[in-house]
DNA sequence: GCTATAATCGTGACCGGTCACACAGTTATT
DNA sequence: AATAACTGTGTGACCGGTCACGATTATAGC
């Protein structure tokens, strides 16, 4: 670690430390000749400003905190990637904390207390401490929330889950399906509820009755997809198509189909939600509802930076998910 | 943001700032009564030390830099997760940079220049600037490298790729396969070369001849698996089993098999490498060589912290990958 | 009663930058 | 020629902590 300080550079260059500071910060009020001279000494000594010191005196760190359940997740991963790209593009650094390893309120408090953040991105499906989130906003820390579906007056990027679920259900209906199973997400998540609503709305709009036995609970895990699919197939009148609350459960369901010799999509159709990377890799490739995960992360990152720079104000976005038709859904032929 | 400083707390509590500092840092040389009094004012004023200031004067930031190609990747994700867990457990923060968005040398330099890191974890398959990495070590910045297979004298965690590839090939041979295809990784990656060597070594040990036409190039991408598999199946005498350099290519290959009506594992066996999460989700579940990704990340994180704390010294680890037999490989019956 | 020792607590300098302001030397204005 | 307005540069204070050392008081030892 070079321990060269700004005063040392000044001494070597025969100027004052303030002049060196001016050169570093590209201040115009320095003579060309002096600038060149100082720059030469900076290079020669391999001087680099101490970020801690800069942060302290500027009261700005160029670090954005990102809180996410698990970054290595198929769902959150692309969001983190997007945020990362936006941040580096804006010259910021990303301090990543996963709530998987720390209680969520603790993690937030921990990160905040450190008081070295210029802003914060919360990528969470559920706020265990909504009060704390609200507090963040009050403290006027630039903040963007991703995927947290609460009526909270904070910058956020959300997905219209209801529309997405509606589109998925409608797609199946239009393919001729009448008995459509649903494997839900966890009740506590607002996301799950919206998707259930979308499902019901589509049924209703197309004059189909809502049959509670076609709706089974799940937990956004592969295993839930297996259990859920088995439960649905065990019905006296099993569904001819299944909509799952996320792609992972769709994959689980497909495994059950394969084991029972059911062909997708000839014998049964299936549609997921999210369009995680793996959805392209399933056999057959999974029809699903795409959330633009990477873009959501990118938007959040860019907006945080713009807020800090004063070039952006509010961000209240609800993105429309998109139906991606692959090969796991087909017209009902029997 | 509370803007309460240590001197303000001192003033309110009627003591000196140094005493407050002692209370914060749990110094023993402060009277019980005073401590309580100070603690009360700290709580009352909701005071939290300014991390920037602490970092500056202590010359320590508690931040560890992590550089990775892409954090949201099925391969690197778990590594990042592991590192994250270890770091938070040790009271450190993680500054994450992805080289996907920045040239690798630039990213490293950028992160270093900031001079706010206590250590660095490099999770890379390839060093575009090995010299720079070496430089890092020389500057005595605590550093751990993951997956970078160079004979470089730096703390690292690697995988014995040769043994892994050997085990994979051996597994197929023991199942009776004689014509075993290999879809490689990119030539430039040392990882790929080691795996090719392992493949050849196993063949040789079991008295099988190495047939170059059974070895096709790939790029650790799904598409490579497709192209590679098609190429191998087009041979006059196609292989009865295929070993791919990573799981993603195995998934691609399986898609080709499915399209051609080849059943796995009855008609053809396939084995991957890495054991990414998806490997469990394929149909049938993929036999593969497991790298303990999460654990590698965790080890790196823990070791960095221990190095900083002075409780650890060297780390030169080469982990043994493990053969995970699932359902994509079977005895040759024809 | 007087000093040695420990327990508490306070002061000044410092970490390495930035900011506000002062100041000298030129050039332009009246 | 005197004043004004720039340019270019330097000085001191400050950001909010920590560290080294010194000062004060209380207790113990002789």
* Per-residue pLDDT tens over the stretch A272-283: 999 999 999 898
Spatial distance between the Cα atoms of A111 and A59, rounded to a whole number of angstroms: 16
Percentage with pLDDT > 90 across chain B:
81
> So what's the pLDDT on residue A309?
93
Tokens 């009050």, residue located: A138
Helix H segments across A71-215? 76-89, 104-113, 130-138, 161-174, 190-205
Check: CB of residue B74 under 8 Å from CB of residue B276.
Answer: yes
For residue B39, give both structure tokens.
């603690």
Within chain B, how many helices (H) and strands (E) appear?
Answer: 12, 12
Structure tokens at A190: 């607002």
Q: Quick one: pLDDT at residue A106?
A: 82
B283–A contact, CB cutoff 8 A: yes
pLDDT value at residue A153: 83
Choose the mutation target among A87, A91, A96, A255 for the interface with B, i.e. most B CBs under 10 Å: A96
Chain B residue nearest residue A221, CA to CA = B281
Mean pLDDT of A152-159: 89
Model confidence pLDDT, tens digit, residues B169-200: 999 999 999 999 999 999 999 999 999 999 99
- B76 contact residues in A (CB cutoff 8 A): 72
| pLDDT value at B33 more than 70 | yes
Q: What is the pLDDT of residue A100?
A: 83
Q: Compute the average pLDDT of residues A179-203.
A: 96
CA B254, distance to chain mean position in Å, is 26
CA max distance for chain B: 90
Interface check for B11 against chain A (CB to CB < 8 A): the answer is no
Measured between CB atoms, does B69 come within 8 Å of chain A?
A: no
pTM of the model: 0.94
| Out of A48, A222, A281, closest to residue B222 by CB | A281
Footprint of strand C on the protein (CB under 7 A): A 3-7, 17-18, 21, 24-25, 47, 49-50, 52-54, 56-58; B 14-19, 28-35, 53, 56-57, 59
Query: Between the CA of A138 and the C1' of C21, what is the distance in angstroms?
Result: 36
Q: Of all residues in chain B, what percent carry a pLDDT higher than 70?
A: 99
| B265–chain A Cβ distance below 8 A for any pair | no
Does any CB of chain B come closer than 8 Å to the CB of residue A117? no
- pLDDT at position A2 is 58
Answer yes or no: do B88 and A76 touch at CB < 8 A: no
List the single residue in A1, A50, A72 with the smallest CB-CB distance to B141.
Answer: A1
Q: What are phi and psi of A50, to 5 degrees?
A: -80, 115
Confidence check: pLDDT of A1 > 70: no
Q: What stretches of chain B adopt beta strand conformation (E)?
A: 63-68, 93-98, 119-123, 143-146, 156-159, 180-183, 215-216, 241-244, 269-271, 288-290, 316-319, 322-324
Query: Is the pLDDT confidence value at B75 over 90?
Result: yes
| A95 vs B1, B95, B102: nearest CB | B95
Q: How far apart, in whole angstroms, are the C-alpha atoms of residue A49 and residue A21? A: 9
- A75 part of contact set with chain B, CB < 8 Å: no
Dist. CA B154–CA B137, nearest whole Å: 7
Q: How far apart are CA A176 and CA A73, in angstroms?
A: 35
Q: What percent of chain A has pLDDT over 70?
A: 99
Residue B208 DSSP class: P
What is the pLDDT at residue A252?
95
DSSP label at residue B219: -
Cα A321 from chain centre? 14
pLDDT > 90 fraction of chain A, expressed in percent and rounded? 81
Cβ-defined contact of B52 to A50 (cutoff 8 Å)? no
CB contact under 8 A, A70 and B52: no
User: Within the 156-195 window of chain B, which residues sit less than 8 Å (CB to CB) from chain A?
Assistant: none
- Which of B58, B71, B107 is the best mutation test for A, with the most CBs of A within 10 A? B71
The answer to whether B52 faces chain A, any CB pair under 8 Å, is yes
pLDDT-based confidence at residue B2 (cuts at 50, 70, 90): low
What is the CA B36 to C1' C8 distance in angstroms? 14
Res A262: pLDDT:
96
Phi-psi label, residue B4: left if phi above 0, alpha if psi -120 to 50, beta otherwise? beta
CA of A56 to C1' of D13 (A): 15
Nearest CA to B2 out of A196, A141, A13 is that of A141
Chain A residues with beta carbon closer than 8 angstroms to that of B280: 222
Q: Does A61 touch chain B (CB under 8 A)?
A: yes
Average pLDDT value over all residues in chain A: 93
Mean pLDDT within A139-155: 85
With bands split at pLDDT 50, 70 and 90, how would you rate the model's confidence at A29? confident
Say which nucleotide is closest to residue B115, CA to C1' distance: C16
| 8 Å CB contact between B233 and B256 | yes
B79/A72 CB distance under 8 A:
yes
Residue nearest to nucleotide D9 (CA to C1'): A19
Q: How far apart are CA B109 and CA B261, in angstroms?
A: 51
pLDDT at B27 over 80: yes
Query: Cβ separation of A72 and B72 shorter than 8 Å?
Result: yes
Residue in B111, B112, B141, B146 with CA at minimum distance from that of residue B127: B146
Nucleotides of C under 7 A from a protein CB: 7-12, 14-20
CA–C1' gap, B36 and C11, in angstroms: 23
Does residue B1 have a pLDDT over 60? no
Instruction: pLDDT band for A131, please (50, 70, 90 cuts).
Output: confident
* Mean pLDDT of the B231-258 span: 97
Residue A104 has pLDDT above 60, yes or no: yes
Return all residues near A130 (Cβ < 8 A) that are at least 6 apart.
A150, A152
Put simply, whether A150 touches B (Cβ < 8 Å) is no
Q: Which residue has the tokens 């070369």?
A: B193
Cα distance between residue A271 and residue A243, in whole Å? 5
Q: Do A96 and B94 touch (CB under 8 A)?
A: yes
Reported confidence tier of residue A330, pLDDT bands at 50, 70, 90: very high
pLDDT at A43: 94
């Amino acid at each position: 670690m070079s321990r060269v300080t700004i005063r040392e550079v000044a001494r070597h260059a025969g100027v004052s430390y303030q002049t060196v500071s001016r050169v570093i910060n590209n201040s115009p009020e320095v003579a060309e000749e002096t600038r060149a001279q100082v720059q030469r000494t900076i290079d020669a000594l391999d001087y680099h400003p101490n970020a801690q010191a800069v942060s302290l005196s500027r009261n700005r760190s160029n670090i954005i905190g990102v809180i996410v359940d698990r970054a290595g997740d198929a769902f959150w991963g692309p969001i983190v990637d997007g945020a990362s790209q936006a941040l580096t593009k804006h010259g910021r650094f990303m301090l990543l904390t996963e709530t998987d390893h720390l209680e969520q309120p603790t993690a937030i408090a921990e990160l905040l207390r450190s008081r070295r953040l210029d802003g914060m991105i919360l990528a969470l499906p559920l706020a265990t401490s909504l009060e704390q989130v609200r507090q963040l906003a009050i403290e006027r820390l630039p903040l963007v929330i991703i995927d947290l579906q609460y009526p909270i007056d904070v910058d956020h990027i959300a997905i219209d889950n209801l529309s997405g679920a509606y589109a998925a259900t409608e797609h199946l209906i239009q393919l001729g399906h009448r008995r459509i199973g649903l494997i839900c997400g966890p009740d506590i998540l607002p996301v799950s509820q919206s998707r259930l609503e979308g499902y019901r709305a589509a049924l209703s709009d197309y004059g189909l009755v809502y049959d509670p036995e076609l709706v089974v609970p799940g937990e956004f895990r592969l295993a839930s997809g297996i259990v859920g699919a088995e439960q649905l197939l065990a019905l006296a009148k099993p569904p001819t198509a299944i909509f799952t609350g996320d792609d992972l459960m769709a994959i689980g369901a497909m495994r059950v189909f394969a084991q029972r010799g059911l062909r997708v999509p000839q014998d049964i159709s299936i549609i997921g939600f999210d369009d995680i990377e793996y959805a392209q890799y399933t056999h057959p490739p999974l029809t699903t509802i795409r959330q633009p995960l990477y873009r959501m992360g990118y938007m959040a990152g860019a907006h945080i930076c713009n807020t800090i720079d004063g070039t952006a104000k509010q961000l209240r976005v609800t993105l429309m998910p998109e139906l991606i038709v692959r090969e796991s859904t087909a017209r009902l032929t029997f």
